């Protein structure tokens, strides 16, 4: 999809998510809160896809950035009285970047299971810090009293979540543009090279470690922004933005959609959160069973995620020789 | 002219096991030099030390007269050292063109840029395409490497290294696992490599070694047993004993 032979122009199916989002805005006004949550998790999943799907960095601690971003925005407002949403976003982005650089520089010297454990440790530590520093973070009770000024000084966050939805959609759109650009760039091609064969990247002279630290920092920045969005939309921060559970949930969403492809990060969170919402209403006690069943079906029958199935269906209708023919 | 690549008393031990024992090795400019030896002689370990993938226990490595023993793999590549792998080591899910373009981009210093699409780097794509054409792989440029037959994958292995325009090229068994009728193609490719590249080839196939190499070093149990012209090596009794055995060359 990316790389030196890929056409970087935006194709029509790539507009579908935005059309669907705008249609949902007009047609499903009672679901805008869920919609905003989905948009936030898509941005969060995009940041994970960049390091996991493209860079091949496995992590169970991506919530560290999300949670740090969420608390940064929350503390700025509730404790320091900084209610400007743009300032909160920028601060959360900077916090995510700083954490990405600081932790990435240490843990990216390791790989595989060691790396996985270290990512998990970092988010677990942050969770414990947030839990204990209750004077700043609200601890287990959560941080309430978050206020957000009107966007651009004009658009107030309304009771129906219309502003919040469009705001999240705009930020996601910008995040998508950035991630998409990186993926189609030489850097993106180089990242897939690291994922495919790290030893070979060393042998062709790539400073693999620094390249990974950089992409980890970028990913942390984006995840930090996603976390800040959640705080602004909910006007509350709970401990559940940190720790293993939300990291694992995010990973499940990405696998569900399809790892290593931009739109896997769109489809996964949407399907997961809609299914969760539906199942929680229909079967309040057993809804996790439904999620589990969904995941088993996808992993068993479509290792490439939901988009993997779509691919197979499309290629079924396409003439078999097309892949070869395009070479000439 | 100093030697383009040189080692001084290069040693490597894993615990009690010594896999490189005071290896003194010299590679001349434009060399066609083969490193042979029985299985477990330490040939691949030697290449890994030259590249910087493994740190030696002691000794020095000089590249173009400069001590590179402590510098990273990527820094050595920047100084003109390239390698191929005995066990095919490619970017399997990427198109053939990308496999080579990644190396070309690293050499040209554009691999880290994030803003313009990779496909807009026409100079890199053109150079990669031309390189593939010289190896007879131009028609497969857009094919996923994993979908190529094994013989062609061995050529891609060489193509990636050539994308670095190395001054010194280490070929680790370029014909490994290739059926004998296809060995000829790989050998033909090797013979056409630019003469200014100094080449060290590790090879088990004696036909390849004696046709390609003008100088041969025999490594046994981590030690240099003998270095000389192919005729000398073929005549040497010790070499026959430890390595050539029943192959009856000469």
* Bridge partners, residue B60, by sequence: B8
Give pLDDT, residue B245. Answer: 56
Q: How confident is the model at residue A184 (pLDDT cuts 50, 70, 90)?
A: very high
- Shortest alpha-carbon distance between residue B167 and chain A (Å): 13
Give the 3-state secondary structure of residue A283.
coil
Under 8 Å CB-to-CB from B167, ≥6 apart: which residues?
B4, B64, B80, B81, B196, B197, B198
Q: Are B119 and A204 inside 8 Å of each other by CB? A: no
Give pLDDT, residue A319. Answer: 59
Q: Are A192 and A54 in contact (CB under 8 A)?
A: yes
Sign of the CA dihedral running B227, B228, B233, B235 = negative
User: Helical H runs in A50-161?
Assistant: 63-78, 85-107, 112-132, 134-137
Of A192-201, A275-284, B79-88, the one with minimum mean pLDDT is: A275-284
Candidates B48, B50, B102: best to mutate against A (most CBs of A within 10 A) is B102
pTM exceeding 0.95: no
Residue B223 burial (CB < 10 Å; 0-12/13-18/19+)? Answer: middle
Q: How confident is the model at residue B178 (pLDDT cuts 50, 70, 90)?
A: confident
Tokens 């080449």 belong to residue: B199
pLDDT tens-digit series, residues B71-90: 999 999 999 999 999 999 99
Token pair belonging to A83: 């209610």
Sign of the CA dihedral running A48, A252, A260, A105 = positive
Distance between CA atoms of residues A239 and A194, nearest Å: 34
Distance between CA atoms of residues A137 and B213, nearest Å: 70
For the residues A280-296, what does the mean pLDDT come to?
Answer: 86
Give the 3-state secondary structure of residue B9.
strand
Those of residues 6-45 in B touching chain A at CB distance below 8 A are: none
Give pLDDT, residue A135. Answer: 92
- Shortest alpha-carbon distance between residue B13 and chain A (Å): 22
Max Cα-Cα span within chain A: 66
| Alpha-carbon A226 to chain mean position | 7
For the residues B122-141, what does the mean pLDDT come to?
Answer: 95
A281 touches chain B (CB under 8 A): no
A80 touches chain B (CB under 8 A): no
Distance between CA atoms of residues B15 and B12, nearest Å: 9
Residues of A in contact with B77 (CB under 8 A): 203-205
Give pLDDT, residue A322. Answer: 42
A141 touches chain B (CB under 8 A): no
Residue (of A215, A213, A228) closest to A143 by Cα position:
A228
pLDDT tens-digit series, residues A62-99: 999 999 999 999 999 999 999 999 999 999 999 999 99
Higher pLDDT, B191 or A321: B191
B97 touches chain A (CB under 8 A): yes
For the residues B93-116, what does the mean pLDDT come to?
Answer: 95
Q: Are B143 and A188 inside 8 Å of each other by CB? A: no
Token pair belonging to A103: 């932790």
Which is it for strands B81-83 and B168-172: parallel, antiparallel or unpaired?
Answer: parallel
Q: How confident is the model at residue A286 (pLDDT cuts 50, 70, 90)?
A: confident
Of A17-26, A134-143, B99-108, the one with minimum mean pLDDT is: A134-143
Under 8 Å CB-to-CB from B58, ≥6 apart: which residues?
B9, B10, B11
* Bridge partners, residue B35, by sequence: B202, B217
């Amino acid at each position: 999809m990316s790389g030196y032979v890929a056409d970087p122009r935006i194709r029509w199916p790539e507009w579908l998510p935005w059309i669907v989002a705008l249609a949902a805005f007009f047609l499903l006004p009672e679901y805008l809160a869920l919609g905003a949550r989905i948009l936030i998790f898509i941005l969060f999943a995009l940041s994970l896809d960049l390091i996991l799907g493209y860079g091949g960095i496995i992590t169970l601690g991506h919530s560290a950035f999300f949670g740090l971003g969420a608390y940064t925005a929350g503390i700025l407002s509730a404790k320091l009285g900084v209610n400007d949403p743009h300032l909160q976003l920028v601060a959360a982005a900077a916090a995510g970047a700083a954490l990405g650089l600081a932790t990435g520089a240490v843990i990216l010297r390791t790989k595989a299971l060691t790396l996985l454990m270290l990512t998990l440790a970092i988010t677990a530590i942050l969770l414990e810090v947030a839990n204990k520093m209750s004077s700043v973070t609200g601890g287990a009770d959560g941080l309430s009293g978050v206020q957000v000024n009107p966007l651009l000084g004009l658009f107030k966050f309304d009771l129906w979540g219309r502003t919040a939805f469009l705001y999240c959609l705009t930020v996601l759109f910008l995040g998508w543009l950035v991630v998409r650009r990186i993926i189609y760039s030489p850097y993106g091609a180089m990242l897939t090279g690291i994922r495919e064969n790290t030893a070979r990247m060393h042998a062709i002279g790539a400073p693999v470690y620094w390249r990974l630290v950089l992409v980890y920092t970028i990913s942390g920045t984006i995840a930090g922004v996603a976390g800040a969005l959640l705080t602004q939309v909910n006007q509350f921060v709970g401990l559940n933005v940190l720790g293993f559970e939300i990291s694992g949930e995010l990973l499940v969403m990405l696998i569900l959609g399809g790892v290593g492809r931009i739109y896997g990060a769109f489809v996964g969170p949407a399907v997961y959160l809609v299914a969760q919402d539906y199942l929680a209403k229909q079967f309040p006690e057993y809804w996790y069973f439904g999620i589990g069943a969904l995941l088993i079906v996808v992993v068993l029958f479509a290792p490439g995620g939901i988009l993997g199935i779509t691919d197979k269906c499309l290629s079924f209708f396409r003439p078999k020789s097309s892949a070869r023919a395009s070479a000439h | 002219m100093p030697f383009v690549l040189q080692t001084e008393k290069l040693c490597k031990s894993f615990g009690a096991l010594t896999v490189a024992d005071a290896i003194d090795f010299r590679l001349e400019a434009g060399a066609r030099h083969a490193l042979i030896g029985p299985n477990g002689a330490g040939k691949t370990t030697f290449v890994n030390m030259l590249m910087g993938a493994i740190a030696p226990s002691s000794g020095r490595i000089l590249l173009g007269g400069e001590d590179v023993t402590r510098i990273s793999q990527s820094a050595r590549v920047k100084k003109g050292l390239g390698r191929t792998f005995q066990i095919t080591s490619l970017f399997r899910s990427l198109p053939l063109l990308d496999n080579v373009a990644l190396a070309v981009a690293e050499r040209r210093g554009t691999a880290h840029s994030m803003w313009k699409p990779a496909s807009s780097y026409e100079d890199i794509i053109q150079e990669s395409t031309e390189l593939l054409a010289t190896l007879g792989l131009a028609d497969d440029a857009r094919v996923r490497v994993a979908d190529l037959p094994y013989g062609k994958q061995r050529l891609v292995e060489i193509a990636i290294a050539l994308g670095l325009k190395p001054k010194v090229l280490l070929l680790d068994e370029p014909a490994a696992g290739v059926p004998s009728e296809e060995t000829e193609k790989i050998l033909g490719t090797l013979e056409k490599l630019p003469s200014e590249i100094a080449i060290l080839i590790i090879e088990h196939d004696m036909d390849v070694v004696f046709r390609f190499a003008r100088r041969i070093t025999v490594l046994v149990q981590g030690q240099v047993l003998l270095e000389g012209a192919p005729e000398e090596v073929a005549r040497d009794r010790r070499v026959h004993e430890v390595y050539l055995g029943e192959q009856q060359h000469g």
